[in-house]
Structures are given as C-alpha cells and as structure tokens.
Structure 1
Amino acid sequence: MTLIIRKEGKAHWVFECRRCHVRGNSQDYFRALEHQQWHERTLEHATKPMADSLGIFAEALTELAERFVDSVASAFKPLADVLAPAPNRPHDPTLLRDRRKWGGR
C-alpha cells in the first residue's frame, strides 16, 4: 500500500503517499485520515500510475527510434561517401561556369 498514516510524536500525525511523493502533517488522526481521503480523490493520485507507464513507454519508443535512425544512417554512409562532390569543386555554380579554371560548358 502506498498510503500511510503514522504518529511521529505528540499531536503530530503524518500522512504519506509514496507513489505521489505527497506528505501531509496534522494534529490528530482524524485530520490525517481526511487528508488521505482528499488526496485519493485528486487527479494527481488517479493518473500517477498511467503517467509512469506512459513515461516508460516513451523512453522505450525513443530508444527504438534512435536505433532505427542509427541503422539507416550506417546503411547509407557508403552511398553518401560515393555521392559527395569532389573536394576541389566549388559549391558556387557561377564559379563552375568559369571556363578558365573548371572547364565551363
């Protein structure tokens, strides 16, 4: 059980929800019990298990996508090396039209 009510001292009762990391202090057991019941009705407590499971699913999906991208990149790496322009050719098309150096048309 993730919900705990315990007495820590004289007139000091503590309510804890370990799942949500919520802690509440009160003077008597009845108020601690009310705090517990109030917390159980909150949206945070109701959606915490679903949010945790979605976080695990999102991490697994991210890891799968990274592996896929790495495998595709490694498959196309030799092709990228072949299709890369020669290192001595300029990237500017106007320089390629200069017949004196590059041969032009």
Structure 2
Amino acid sequence: MIRKEGKARWVYTCELCRVLAAHPDHFRAIEQQQAHEGTIEHATKPMADALGIFAESLTEMANAFVDTIASALKPLTDALATPPNVPHDPSLLRDRRKWGGR
C-alpha cells in the first residue's frame, strides 16, 4: 500500500512482510513496491507462515504423545529398576571392603 503522509513523503507499506519504506516522491514508492513484491521472501511469506503454524501444532502433538507414553511406561520402569547394591546376607554388611560396614 502506498500513501502520502506529508509533503514529499510517500510511504510504501507491506502488511504481509511488515516492510515500511519512505520516499520523497510517488514514483520511487511505486518502484519500491514493485521491487519488493518481486522478491522470493514476499512470494513465500504466506506459505512459510502456514508451515510455521503446522510445525507448532505438530510439535505440540508430539510432546503430548511422548508425555502419554512416558506416563504409561513409568510403572514398568519402576518395576524393572535394578535393586540397590546391598547383599542379602546381613553379616556381609559388616564387610568394610565393599559395603562400608562398621
């Protein structure tokens, strides 16, 4: 969008890309508009925004899935955890060489 804001001040604004350029005459503002709208960034901006939204939603779904799986496997990991390194025979607890003893 090109608009006149004052004497010798023409402003080109692209709301999609958030580009703002001020020029002293209308012709240069038109040239800026044509140059900007011919760039790859302006052409791919809507697709990039849509892919960003899709990626965010996909990330949220993946995080929810991982949290669900982790909460379901928590009892299994607790059951399969290795027992503490303590001997079954209480007399071995007094052995200072391995378990500290007294």
Q: Give the TM-score category using the shorter length.
A: 0.7 to 0.9
User: Size of the alignment, in residue pairs?
Assistant: 90
Percentage of matched positions with identical amino acids: 60
Structure 1 residue 30 displacement after superposition = 1.2
Aligned 1:17-28 pairs, distance under 5 A: 17-28=14-25
Aligned to 1:58: 55
Unaligned runs of 5+ in 1: 91-99
The Cα shift of 1:14 comes to 0.2
Tell me which of 42, 53, 68 is aligned to 1:45: 42
- Taking structure 1 as the reference length, what is the TM-score of the superposition? 0.79
Provide structure 2 residue ranges, at least 5 long, that are not aligned to the other structure.
87-91, 94-102
- Determine the structure 1 residue equivalent to 2:74: 77
Aligned-residue CA RMSD (Å)? 1.8
Displacement of 1:41 in angstroms is: 0.1
What residue number does 1:89 align with? Answer: 85
Normalising by the residue count of structure 2, what TM-score does the alignment of the two structures yield?
0.81
Runs of 4+ more than 3 Å apart? none
